[in-house]
Amino acid sequence: MTTQTLILLTAERLFAVQGIDGTSLRQISVAAEQRNTAAAKYHFGDRESLIKAIFRHRLDVIDARRRELLKSVGAASGTRAVVEALVRPLAEQAARPGSHYVRFLNRLFEHVGRQVGALPEAGGLEEAVAAGWLLTERMAHLPEAQAMLRIRWTGELILSGIADLEQRCQDGQDGEGDDPEELTVAVIDAVTGLLTAPSSFPAP
């Protein structure tokens, strides 16, 4: 493993556990066992550049998996199929031994003011954005303002739900733990319910 990758993975873990604002570049360098406590700054420049590097580190694999799932979503496919394409790639990452990535994403979400739309500024997420548009097309039963609210809540629910899945999977690594597939389906069910529930204020 290169020094740069070691620092990146250490930062991912510390950001996930301590939060973005509670973690300094110096702390990351020390935790990565670098004799030079400015190593993180040397390799990544500043904290925002390091955050973007972490964000993109696993994104190519996640986006490729999401693209694969979205290929099977046709015009006649229901909301659940699109939700699964959003949720499952993150859940698969979260279930990997030692993963901190989804909890890092959840912390990053807090860092940008809980605005899902701010996350693409870190780079990537083209497939997630495409899935968002597919969901919007399937929400004609809602007034536009309510549809946009539910799309926003969808991002929050997916991140918090899969971050919880990741924590549960990591806690259970050395013994009996929760079934990742059962937790994944539970998140898909919850998000699908949020998006498809009728409104008390129907679209005109």
List the domain range (segments joined by +) for residue 33: 3-55
User: In the chain, pLDDT over 90 holds for what percent of residues?
Assistant: 53
Rounded CA-CA distance 3/195 in Å is 44
Structural domain ending residue among the three candidates 15, 38, 55: 55
Please tell me whether residues 36 and 102 are part of one structural domain.
Answer: no
Q: Are residues 81 and 114 in the same domain?
A: yes
SS3 for 8-48 is: HHHHHHHHHHHCCCCCCHHHHHHHCCCCCCCHHHHHHCCHH
pLDDT digit string, tens, across residues 91-102? 999 999 999 999
pLDDT for 40: 93
Is the domain of 43 the same as that of 106?
A: no
Residue 99 is given by DSSP the state -
User: pLDDT confidence of 199, banded at 50, 70, 90?
Assistant: confident
Neighbours of 130 (CB within 10 A): 17
pLDDT of 133-173, one tens digit each?
A: 888 888 888 888 888 899 889 989 999 999 999 999 888 75
In tens, the pLDDT along 54-71 reads 988 888 888 889 989 988
The CA distance from 13 to 98, in Å, is 9
CATH code of 46's domain: 1.10.10.60
User: CA 52, CA 48: separation in Å to the nearest integer?
Assistant: 6
Q: What is the pLDDT of residues 6-26, one digit of tens each?
A: 999 999 999 999 999 999 999
181 or 127, which is more confident = 181
Is residue 56 within 8 A of residue 121, CB to CB? The reply is no
- Residue-level pLDDT at 81: 93
Q: What is the pLDDT of residue 82?
A: 92
Within 10 A of 34 (CB to CB), how many other CB atoms are there?
A: 19
* Shared-domain flag, residues 97 and 184: yes
In a domain, 185, yes or no: yes
Same domain for 87 and 184? yes
Rounded CA separation 107/113 (Å): 10
Same domain (yes/no): 70, 162: yes
| Chain segment 171-189, per-residue pLDDT in tens | 875 555 678 999 999 999 9
Residue 134 maps to a domain: yes
Instruction: For 102-118, write each residue's pLDDT tens digit.
Output: 999 999 888 877 766 66
Give the model confidence (pLDDT) of 44-56 as tens digits. Answer: 999 989 998 998 8
Domain count for the chain: 2
Q: Would 69 be classed as within a structural domain?
A: yes
Asked whether residue 193 carries a pLDDT value surpassing 90, the answer given is yes
Q: For the chain, give the percent of residues with pLDDT over 70.
A: 90
Do 107 and 174 belong to one domain? yes
pTM above 0.75, yes or no: yes
Residue 204 lies in a domain: no
Give the single-character DSSP code of 123: S
